[in-house]
């Protein structure tokens, strides 16, 4: 009977037994924690393509089936039936809230949406044409300089307060970054508005006239936020975990996550995808573009396509595609050329052998920009909106890690291929 509880690693005259750990869902895991101590060996896995860096109970992705579960609940069900703040509660505390719990959580978040008035001065130091992600990294990191009563990561109550503050204040900070780039005055949050409506109001209201948020738009924004809320150990979440493992305060860790998300291979892809669709411009230019995207020497990739885990259609992209049709229709935008190019590009790519063989499908970033552009956002605000949404995922994963009694600082090793030891040579001898 094959041993399914241990893996045996045999090399030279050594043979090591490595325990097999069983997950609730997903592949079995070979526990290599004693590999170096017992076998004087490292593993080598740049990009962590086959490495589980932690245990987690928060989010599960089945890349082959294209499934995404938040605490076991399928993303499609949550996107159609839940709300972003209810999803925040679910990700943070592990279960869906009852009515009283949701109301209490909603009230706690609502009453933390304002930022310290002196944080306004930080914006003055930035150029008006700064990318809002640059501003967000700076201002969120600077929250460590203000909220001294929620910096102690060893105090569960302070961790809870920091979590609420970050979820509550990120939309305010992102909206302030947007207003600052426009040269318009900051708009304060309004406690009478729900989370998504408040964000839209802070972005698009001006002091000179009443701004009424369209319920259908705030519903679409709320759904976009749910779709982006968490995604297991992606690059920015892993950044937050690694920063948190050193004991850094929560605001510094989330600022690190925002910085990592900015990259075009990650959260920056929603901006890059829309800019690429605009550059293609019309359906007849798609074949030439597809040719370039398949030619490595072109340096061009189809942005919003492909994924490290999904080797099937990203379930979030499916919901996003449906939402794009709804929002454009609501905004009275018909025959939107960018959406037409996106749909035709998807159709052609999904029939092309290169994309089929490499299992490249649209990901969460392929359609999101079309919706956000229709709502009136510039492309520079796409990744900040991703950051607002993902903040709860980063925080839930950070809290899970900090509460783990076995927490150790993250410190990977390496495969050293540099020069062996050699002696210093005086400059006259070189
Ligand atoms: C997000 O991890 C997450 O969960 C992230 C995220 C989240 O919610 O947190 O889902 C959010 O970041 C989504 C991904 C957004 N990025 C993009 O859309 C940028 C374009 N896509 C890629 O650059 C790429 O697909 C990645 C970065 C997303 C995944 O890269 P991998 O898993 O490291 O795959 P790879 O780069 O090794 O590519 C595998 C092959 C390569 O060809 P070969 O070397 O095997 O011949 O596929 C090719 C790549 O050249 N390829 C693409 C492609 N993506 C991969 N070719 C053309 N266009 C693409 N988009």
Q: What is the pLDDT of residues 388-404, one digit of tens each?
A: 999 999 999 999 999 99
What is the pTM (predicted TM-score) of this model?
0.95
Q: Is 423 a catalytic site residue?
A: no
How far is Cα of residue 115 from the mean position of the Cα atoms in its chain? 23
Give 307 Cα–ligand 1 centroid separation in angstroms: 5
Residue among 230, 254, 258, 243 at smallest CA distance from 147: 254
Ligand 1 pocket, residues with Cβ under 6 angstroms: 47, 231, 234, 265-267, 269, 293, 301-309, 358, 360, 363-365
The proportion of the chain whose per-residue pLDDT surpasses 70, expressed as a percent, equals 99
- Per-residue pLDDT of 189-247, as tens digits, reads 999 999 999 999 999 999 999 999 999 999 999 999 999 999 999 999 999 999 999 99
DSSP state of 379: G
> Among 60, 263, 306, which is best to mutate for testing ligand 1, by the most ligand atoms less than 8 A from CB?
306
Residue 1: the pLDDT is 61
Q: Is 307 a catalytic site residue?
A: yes
Residue 335: the pLDDT is 86
User: End-to-end CA distance of the chain, in Å?
Assistant: 64
Residue among 84, 383, 126 at smallest CA distance from 236: 383
User: Which H or E run includes 342?
Assistant: helix 337-351
Residue of minimum CA distance from atom 36 in ligand 1? 308
């Amino acid at each position: 009977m094959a041993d399914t509880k241990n893996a045996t690693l045999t090399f030279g005259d050594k043979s090591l037994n490595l325990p097999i750990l069983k997950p609730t869902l997903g592949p079995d895991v070979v526990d290599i924690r004693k590999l170096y101590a017992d076998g004087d060996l490292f593993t080598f896995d740049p990009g962590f393509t086959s490495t589980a860096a932690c245990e987690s109970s928060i989010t599960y992705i089945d890349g082959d089936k294209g499934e995404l579960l938040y605490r076991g609940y399928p993303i499609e069900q949550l996107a159609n039936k839940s709300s972003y703040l209810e999803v925040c509660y679910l990700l943070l505390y592990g279960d869906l809230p009852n009515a009283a719990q949701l109301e209490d959580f909603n009230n706690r978040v609502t009453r933390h949406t304002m930022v310290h008035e002196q944080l306004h001065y930080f914006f003055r130091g930035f150029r008006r044409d700064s990318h809002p992600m640059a501003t967000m990294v700076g201002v969120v990191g600077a929250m460590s300089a203000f909220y001294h009563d929620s910096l102690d990561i060893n105090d569960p109550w302070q961790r809870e307060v920091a979590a609420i503050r970050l979820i509550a204040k990120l939309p305010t900070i992102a909206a302030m970054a947007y207003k600052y780039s426009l040269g318009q005055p900051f708009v304060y949050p309004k406690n009478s508005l729900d989370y998504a409506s408040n964000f839209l109001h802070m972005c698009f209201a001006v002091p000179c006239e009443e701004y009424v948020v369209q319920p259908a738009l705030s519903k679409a924004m709320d759904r976009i936020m749910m779709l982006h809320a968490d995604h297991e150990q992606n690059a920015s979440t892993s950044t937050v975990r690694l920063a948190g493992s050193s004991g850094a305060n929560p605001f510094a860790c989330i600022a690190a996550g925002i910085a990592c998300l900015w990259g075009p291979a990650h959260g920056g892809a929603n901006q890059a995808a829309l800019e690429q669709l605009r550059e293609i411009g019309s359906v007849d230019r798609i074949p030439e573009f597809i040719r370039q995207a398949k030619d490595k020497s072109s340096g061009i990739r189809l942005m919003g396509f492909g994924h490290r885990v999904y080797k099937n259609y990203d379930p979030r992209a499916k919901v996003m595609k449906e939402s794009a049709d709804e929002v454009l229709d609501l905004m009275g935008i018909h025959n939107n050329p960018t959406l037409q190019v996106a749909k035709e590009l998807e159709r052609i790519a999904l029939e092309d052998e290169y994309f089929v063989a490499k299992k490249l499908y649209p990901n969460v970033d392929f359609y999101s920009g079309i919706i956000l552009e229709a709502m009136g956002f510039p492309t520079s605000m796409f990744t900040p909106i991703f950051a607002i949404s993902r903040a709860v995922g980063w925080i839930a994963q950070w809290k899970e890690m900090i509460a783990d009694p076995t927490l150790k600082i993250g410190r990977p090793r390496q495969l050293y291929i540099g020069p062996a030891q050699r002696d210093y040579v005086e400059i006259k001898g070189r």
